[in-house]
């Protein structure tokens, strides 16, 4: 029977804490019986370890077999719940959708209660106002276009008249120059001809 | 200290999502331990290999039932323990109990390690044969697989006190067999 503070077999089997092991070591140094018992246990343990592990004669492995794989839906479901980012995104999306739906269903009754009775009348009034505004805008636009066209025609006629006047003046000047040149030539020919040959 | 780029828990999570390659990597880490545990129990290399394959197949099929991936090792060995005992039950007619002496069948010749002489391996095998099945399995789980008492209790599905009792008794027997043998110069 051992007088050690802790079971020497627990010491050997690694079930004691560091402090408990230290106490056993201290005791075994001063107790011959426990020292011998501990030595026998150590010899037993080390001898047992002479029986070594064998290598596996054939590797164990699986191939990708659809039979063992979970379904696509299950994989997607597990991947979804296994991802905090996706969960966060989904939460934000659900919150946004809830806000949109809440806003939509909250406003709809208020609009319906006010607008529903006079809807046709308001629609007719709006249509009349729109038609009047369109007609007025078209008339104004046509008037602006007519005025602008008249101005452009007048300006063009003025430019044409001025151009014609300038052309006539230019022609007259050229005719005058030609006439002068002709007269000069005639005078020179008259001077060069002998007096007896004069007709 | 062994550094692992990917922890077992990560591989388990991937395998749960159907990643077979992750599970194959997990197998490569554990197959030697499971095989040797079963080999020392069933004492037949072919049976041990077949059972190992069954263990990893069952583990894969039930991976979702593993509550805490950090407890993978005792959970896996619990499956191995059940498979080994189921194997023994299948071999015998219904209602007939398995005698303790037959639990491990005929002892397989130990493969001799160059670091240890054959006499030492024979002495260890002979000493282990003196134990009953429960005591032998307790020694295998503790000495060769390094499980804690709580993990052994989980694997064997019994109280920690029972585990301790089996192990202490086994150690007393083994000490009687092995320590004097070595002092007499068997080695």
Ordered per-residue pLDDT tens for chain A, 199 residues: 578 899 999 999 999 999 999 999 999 999 989 999 999 999 999 999 988 889 998 888 776 555 555 566 766 666 666 666 777 777 788 888 888 888 777 755 555 555 555 788 888 889 899 999 999 999 999 999 999 999 999 999 999 999 999 999 999 999 999 999 999 999 988 888 766 554 4
Question: Chain A contact for B122, CB < 8 A?
Answer: no
pLDDT at residue B47, as a whole number: 93
**Which among A40, A54, A82 has CB closest to B36?**
A54
Q: How far apart are CA A6 and CA A25, in angstroms?
A: 10
CB contact under 8 Å between A68 and B111, yes or no, is: no
> For B37-187, where are the E strands, in sequence order?
none
User: Which residues, other chains included, contact A85 with Cβ-Cβ below 8 Å and sequence gap of 6+?
Assistant: none
Among the partner-chain residues A12, A48, A59, the one whose CB lies closest to the CB of B124 is A48
CB-CB neighbors (< 8 A) of A68 in chain B: 18, 20, 60-61
Interface with chain A: mutation pick from B28, B44, B104, B179, highest number of A CBs within 10 Å: B179
In the structure encoding, which two tokens stand for residue A177, read together? 């120059």
pLDDT confidence of residue B89: 82
Q: Name residues whose C-beta falls within 8 Å of residue A34's C-beta, 6 or more positions apart in sequence.
A: A2, A3, A4, A8, A24, A27, A28
Phi, psi torsion values for A197, nearest 5 degrees: -85, 5
Residue labelled with tokens 């501990």: A38
Under 8 Å between Cβ of B18 and A75: yes
Contact A54 B20 (CB under 8 A): no
Q: Give pLDDT tens digits for B53-67.
A: 999 999 999 998 998
Q: Which of A48, A57, A78 sits opposite B143 (nearest CB)?
A: A48
Shortest alpha-carbon distance between residue B87 and chain A (Å): 19
Return residues 43-102 of B near A (CB < 8 Å). 45, 49, 52-53, 56-57, 60-61
Hey, which residues 124-153 in chain B have their CB within 8 Å of chain A? Answer: 124-125, 127-128, 139, 142-144, 146, 148-149
Q: Which of A2, A14, A39, A50 to mutate to test the interface with B (most CBs of B within 10 A)?
A: A50
Helix and strand tally (H, E) in chain A? 6, 0
Residues whose CB is less than 8 angstroms from the CB of residue A132 and which lie 6 or more positions away in sequence, other chains included? none
**Would you state the torsion angle of the CA atoms of residues B17, B19, B20, B23, taken in this order, to the nearest 10 degrees?**
-80
B23 contact A CB<8A: yes
Please write the tens of the pLDDT for every residue from B78-123: 999 999 999 888 876 555 555 444 445 445 555 555 556 778 888 8
């Amino acid at each position: 029977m051992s007088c050690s503070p802790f079971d020497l077999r627990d010491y050997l089997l690694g079930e004691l804490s560091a402090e408990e092991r230290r106490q056993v070591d201290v005791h075994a140094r001063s107790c011959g019986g426990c020292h011998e018992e501990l030595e026998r246990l150590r010899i037993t343990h080390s001898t047992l370890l002479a029986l070594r592990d064998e290598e596996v004669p054939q590797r164990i492995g699986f191939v990708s077999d659809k039979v063992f794989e979970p379904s696509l839906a299950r994989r997607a479901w597990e991947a979804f719940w296994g991802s905090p980012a996706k969960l966060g995104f989904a939460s934000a999306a659900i919150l946004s959708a809830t806000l949109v739906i809440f806003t939509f269903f909250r406003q709809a009754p208020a609009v319906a209660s006010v607008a529903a009775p006079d809807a046709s009348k308001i629609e007719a009034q709006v249509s009349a106002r729109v038609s009047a505004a369109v007609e007025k805008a078209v008339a104004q636009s046509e008037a602006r276009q007519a005025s602008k066209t008249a101005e452009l025609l007048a300006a063009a006629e003025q430019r044409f008249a001025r151009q014609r006047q300038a052309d006539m003046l230019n022609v007259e000047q050229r005719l005058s120059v030609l006439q002068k040149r002709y007269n000069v030539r005639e005078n020179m020919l008259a001077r060069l001809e002998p007096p007896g040959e004069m007709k | 200290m062994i550094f692992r780029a990917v922890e077992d828990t990560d591989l388990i999570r991937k395998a749960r999502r159907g990643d077979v390659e992750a599970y194959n990597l997990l197998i490569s880490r554990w197959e030697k331990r499971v095989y040797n545990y079963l080999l020392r129990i069933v004492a037949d290399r072919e049976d041990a290999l077949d059972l190992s394959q069954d263990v990893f197949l069952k583990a894969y099929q039930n991976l979702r039932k593993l509550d805490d991936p950090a407890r993978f090792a005792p959970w896996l060995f619990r499956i191995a323990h059940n498979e080994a005992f189921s194997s023994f039950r299948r071999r015998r007619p219904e209602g007939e109990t398995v005698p303790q002496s037959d639990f491990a069948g005929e002892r397989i010749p130990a493969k001799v390690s160059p670091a240890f002489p054959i006499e030492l391996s024979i002495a260890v095998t002979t000493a282990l044969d003196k134990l009953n099945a429960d005591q032998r399995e307790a020694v295998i789980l503790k000495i060769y697989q390094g499980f804690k008492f709580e993990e052994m209790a989980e694997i064997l599905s019994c109280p920690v006190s029972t585990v301790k009792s089996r192990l202490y008794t086994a150690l007393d027997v083994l000490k009687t067999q092995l320590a004097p043998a070595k002092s007499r110069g068997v080695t």
